[in-house]
């Protein structure tokens, strides 16, 4: 099973590729919703990416700020989902 | 970029205390802003014997026929809807006074008394503006929802008694004080006793209870359907009590409340005061039909209440009020100036309203592509200014009362695609559609087919949700006629084109992730400008379909649209 660090690495690469933010560095604790520019469609795209890449099913109730707040919180969420599946 | 506001956590008790520090001087800017509103929109200047807006405009030698109204103050976009107990200026004065009094209470009272004070000031102002009976009707309607959704809350038997008593009192005609009191007392006793037994059934849930709750939440839509059909069949139009109309205007917020409840986010034992504070605030006294979804449901307001320092919130509210005033005062005049300049400089005839353009087309007047493009653009810009002004005022009021509320309207001219535009001019409405329509479809249908999943969810939200639950109620609540109902449904091509536009945008963004942030100062900035224009123009142009005129047809509207695109002469 992927470690949380590996998941965070893939998410980080995804955001750098899909949501580049010139002149700013994306940290694992960067606030994606306020300090980056993940808009509401970005959240939907993230759901799609997470489901396709990690094979977990994201539910409506999972769309919460504490899950989508940062790369770190999102990685922890995916890890939790993978654990539930296993 | 359209914001994402995801559900998170309410501020902790410690954070709430931090944000509740008094800075008494904040009262001054709030009072000053409201006095400016009173000067602009009421008879206050005449009463005080100070120069009126008309005097100032005349003194400056300006000609602003679209700004000043007949009685010398500023033509108002802010209105108190559906009441005639006072003149419009007096209604506004009462509304502004209630807002100020409510601000003082919400600012200075201890934390636990802030929300009850907001509800109390709402009822006081509403009862003055609409009459006590109307206020009681609104309260009774909300008690119905509360009792259906919160059977395990404290003191529900007493509340049920009050509900039954109120319902009986409001249903009785003029039968005299003593009989009315007797019947009311009897109904209250019976209601309390009956609910004590019914509460267990409601708490257990089940299909029948779910259906009952759905029926109550959808009472507005059910009433519209039944009353419109009844009028179509018999020619008799229903007249609803104004209190019920005011409650119906909260249909979208009730639906979000239901979604919050279903997601387990609303405490089952929520106190009545907390429930009423979701829906009843003096911030919602003006323009019932404008953005009735402002404030959304329980979760949004729980997270936004004192989410920042209350003084900073109040000052940000005052800034929004100032911006709102500029928008509302200048919208019509700026439109006229733009039209005159366009005709003088470019020699292009421009209609101020899309409806005028459609009528000219139906009359057979020769219309050029620039006329269609500019007329629809100007009309939409005017609507954005007015809409932005009114919603900024209302959001400003929420902020002054301590809620860190997002603006409904966030510089829509910066949107470089249709999906972003929609989030920028109707944030709370989009959140309503996303919560109630988009998410349920997105997380249920076509999970393994990304494009179909996106398109399906978007079309359900932007076509079905937007047309039926977004536009039918405001178009028909006040005119329960079959013709009103069918007229709004006949505008479906607008919703279809909007849905298709947003769907295509989303599929494009899914396939081609963004390589840069829009409006970055680089060599692709002109492309942002072009995209912003194309987005706004497309959105304005499809409004041809939402302004149907007598004698019009789908074919005629399409010909006008094609004329605008240069494909038809």
Q: Which pair of tokens denotes residue A4? A: 């949380």
Inter-chain CB proximity A64 and B2 less than 8 Å: no
Range of the domain at A32: 4-85
The pLDDT value given to residue B512:
74
Mean pLDDT score, A4-22: 85
Residues of B in contact with A37 (CB under 8 A): 1, 517
* B-chain residues near A62 (CB < 8 A): none
The pLDDT assigned to A22 comes to: 64
Q: Which of A24, A31, A44 to mutate to test the interface with B (most CBs of B within 10 A)?
A: A44
Instruction: Tell me if A20 and B514 make a contact (CB, 8 A cut-off).
Output: yes
**Rounded-to-integer distance, Cα A72 and Cα A78, Å:** 10
User: Which backbone phi and psi does B305 adopt, to 5 degrees?
Assistant: -70, 120
Q: Give the Å distances, CA to CA, from B138 to B163, B247, B353.
A: 11, 6, 36
Of B7, B442, B515, the CB nearest to A44: B442
End-to-end CA distance of chain B: 38
Does A41 sit within 8 Å of B506, measured CB to CB?
yes
Q: Reduced to 3 states, what is the DSSP secondary structure of residue B430?
A: helix
Per the CB < 8 A criterion, the answer to whether B35 and B21 are in contact is no
- Rounded CA separation B554/B562 (Å): 12
DSSP of B3-40: ----B--PPPHHHHHHTT---GGGHHHHHHHHHHHHHH
Token pair recorded at residue B327 = 């928008």
* Nearest-neighbour CA in chain B from A48: distance (Å): 7
What's the pLDDT tens digit per position in B140-199? 999 999 999 999 999 999 999 999 999 999 998 778 888 889 999 999 999 999 999 999
CB atoms within 10 A of CB B352: 17
CB atoms within 10 A of CB B275: 22
Chain A residues interacting with chain B (CB cutoff of 8 angstroms): 17-22, 33, 37-45, 47-48, 51-52, 57-61, 63-66, 68-69
Q: Please check whether residue B391 is in contact with residue B336, taking contact to mean a CB–CB distance below 8 angstroms.
A: no
Using a CB-CB cut-off of 8 Å, the residues of chain A touching B1 are 37, 39
SS (H, E, C) B254-277: HHHHHHHHHCCCCCCCCCHHHHHH
Q: Supply the DSSP symbol for B237.
A: P
Mean residue pLDDT of chain B comes to: 92
Listed residue (B439, B321, B408, B84) closest to A63, CA to CA = B439
Tell me whether residues B513 and A17 touch, CB distance under 8 A: yes
Three-class HEC string of B281-311: CHHHCCCCCCCCCCCCCHHHHHHHECCCCHH
Residue B105 corresponds to which tokens in the numbers above? 């209470």
Tell me the domain boundaries of chain B.
21-312, 320-416+518-564
Read off the pLDDT of residues B510-527 as tens digits, 9 standing for 90 and up: 877 666 778 888 888 999
Evaluate whether B320 touches B393 at the Cβ level (below 8 Å). yes
Q: Is the pLDDT of residue B24 over 80?
A: yes
pLDDT tens figures, B191-249: 999 999 999 999 998 999 999 999 999 999 999 999 999 999 999 999 999 999 999 99
Across the interface, of A17, A20, A65, the residue whose CB is closest to B516 is A20
What whole-number percentage of chain B has pLDDT above 70? 99
Contact (CB<8Å) A66/B8: yes
Q: Is pLDDT at B458 greater than 60 in this prediction?
A: yes
Cβ-defined contact of A45 to B517 (cutoff 8 Å)? no
Q: How confident is the model at residue A81 (pLDDT cuts 50, 70, 90)?
A: very high
* Residues in Cβ contact with B84 at an 8 Å cutoff, skipping those fewer than 6 apart: none
Minimal Cα distance from A40: which residue of B?
B4
Residues 6 or more apart whose CB falls under 8 angstroms from that of B239 comprise: none
Of A63, A64, A69, the CB nearest to B439: A63
State the Cα angle at B433 between B442 and B462, rounded to 5°.
80
Contacts of A16 in chain B (CB under 8 A): none
Q: How many domains does chain A have?
A: 1
Exposure pattern of B38-69 as b/e (b: 16+ CB <10 Å)?
bbbbbbbbbeeeeebbbeebeeeeeebebbbb
Q: What is the mean pLDDT of residues B469-496?
A: 94
DSSP 8-state code for residue B516: S
CB–CB contacts below 8 A, A to B: 76
Q: Within a 10 A sphere around the Cβ of A48, how many other Cβ atoms?
A: 17
CATH code at position A37: 1.10.1200.10
CB contact set of B299 (below 8 Å; sequence gap of 6+): B7, B260, B263, B265, B266
B305 strand-pairing partners: B403
The span from the CA of B258 to the CA of B256, in Å, is 5
Distance CA B246, CA B25 (A): 35
pLDDT at B560: 96
pTM, to two decimals: 0.92
Q: What gap in Å lies between CA B83 and CA B96, rounded to an integer?
A: 16
Nearest Cα residue to A40 out of B419, B265, B295: B419
pLDDT in tens, B396-435: 999 999 999 999 988 888 899 898 888 788 889 988 998 8
- Rounded CA gap, B489 and B487, in Å? 5
* Helix (H), strand (E) at residue A18: helix A4-18
Structure tokens at B23: 């800075």
Of the candidates A38, A60, A66, the beta carbon closest to that of B4 is on A38
Between CA B257 and CA B438 the distance in angstroms is 16
The strand pairing partners of B403, in sequence order, are: B305
Answer whether residue B535 shows pLDDT above 90: yes
For B544, which DSSP code?
G
What radius of gyration, in Å, describes the C-alpha atoms of chain A? 12
Coil, strand or helix at B74: strand
Give the ipTM: 0.87
């Amino acid at each position: 099973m992927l470690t949380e660090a590996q998941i965070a690495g893939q998410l980080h690469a995804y955001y750098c590729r899909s949501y580049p933010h010139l002149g700013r560095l994306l940290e694992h604790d960067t606030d994606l919703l306020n300090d980056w520019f993940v808009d509401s469609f970005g959240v939907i795209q993230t759901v799609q990416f997470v489901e396709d890449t990690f094979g977990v099913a994201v539910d409506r109730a999972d769309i919460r700020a504490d899950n989508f707040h940062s790369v770190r919180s999102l990685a922890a969420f995916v890890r939790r989902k993978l654990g539930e599946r296993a | 970029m359209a914001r994402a506001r995801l559900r998170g956590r309410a501020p902790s008790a410690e954070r709430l205390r931090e944000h509740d520090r008094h800075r008494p001087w904040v009262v001054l800017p709030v009072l000053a802003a409201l006095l400016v509103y009173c000067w602009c929109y009421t008879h206050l200047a005449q009463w005080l014997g100070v120069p009126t807006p008309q005097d100032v405009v005349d003194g400056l030698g300006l000609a602003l026929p679209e700004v000043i109204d007949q009685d010398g103050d500023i033509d108002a976009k802010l209105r108190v809807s559906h009441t005639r107990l006072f003149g419009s200026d007096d209604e506004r004065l009462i509304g502004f006074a209630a807002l100020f009094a409510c601000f003082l209470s919400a600012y200075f009272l201890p934390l636990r008394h802030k929300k009850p004070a907001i509800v109390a000031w709402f009822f006081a102002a509403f009862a003055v503006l609409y009459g006590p009976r109307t206020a009681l009707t609104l309260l009774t309607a909300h008690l119905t929802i509360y009792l259906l959704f919160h059977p395990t809350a404290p003191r529900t038997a007493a509340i049920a008694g009050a509900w039954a008593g109120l319902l009986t009192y409001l249903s009785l005609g003029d039968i005299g004080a003593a009989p009315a009191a007797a019947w009311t007392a009897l109904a209250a006793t019976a209601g309390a006793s009956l609910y004590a037994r019914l509460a267990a059934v409601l708490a257990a849930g089940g299909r029948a209870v779910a259906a009952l709750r759905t029926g109550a939440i959808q009472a507005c839509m059910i009433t519209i359907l039944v009353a419109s059909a009844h009028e179509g069949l018999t020619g008799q139009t229903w007249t609803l009590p104004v209190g019920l109309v005011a409650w119906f205007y909260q249909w979208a917020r009730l639906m979000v409340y239901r979604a919050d409840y279903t997601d387990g986010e609303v405490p089952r034992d929520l106190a009545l005061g907390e429930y009423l504070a979701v829906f009843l605030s003096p911030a919602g006294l003006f323009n019932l039909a404008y953005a009735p979804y402002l404030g959304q449901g329980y979760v949004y307001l729980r997270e936004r209440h004192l989410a920042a320092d209350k003084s900073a919130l109040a000052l940000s509210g005052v800034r929004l009020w100032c911006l709102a005033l500029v928008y509302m005062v200048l919208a019509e005049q700026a439109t006229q100036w733009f039209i005159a300049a366009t005709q003088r400089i470019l020699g292009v005839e421009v209609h101020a309203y899309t409806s005028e353009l459609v009528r000219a087309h139906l009359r057979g007047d020769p219309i050029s592509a620039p006329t269609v493009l500019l007329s629809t653009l100007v009309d939409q810009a005017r609507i954005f200014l007015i809409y932005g002004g009114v919603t900024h005022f209302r959001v400003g009021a929420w902020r002054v009362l301590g809620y860190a509320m997002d603006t409904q309207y966030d510089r829509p001219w910066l949107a470089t695609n249709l999906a972003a535009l929609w989030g920028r001019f109707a944030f709370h409405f989009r959140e309503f559609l996303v919560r109630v329509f988009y998410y349920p479809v997105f997380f249920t249908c076509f999970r393994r087919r990304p494009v179909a999943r996106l398109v399906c969810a978007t079309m359900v939200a932007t076509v079905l949700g937007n047309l039926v639950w977004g536009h039918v109620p405001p178009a028909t609540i006040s005119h329960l006629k079959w013709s009103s109902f069918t007229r709004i449904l006949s505008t479906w091509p607008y919703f279809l084109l909007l849905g298709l536009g947003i769907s295509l945008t989303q599929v494009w963004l899914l396939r081609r992730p963004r390589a840069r942030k829009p409006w970055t100062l680089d060599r692709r900035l002109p492309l942002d400008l072009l995209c912003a224009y194309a987005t706004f123009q497309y959105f304005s142009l499809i409004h041809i379909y939402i302004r149907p005129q007598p004698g019009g047809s789908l074919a005629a509207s399409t010909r006008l649209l094609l004329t605008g695109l240069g494909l038809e002469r």
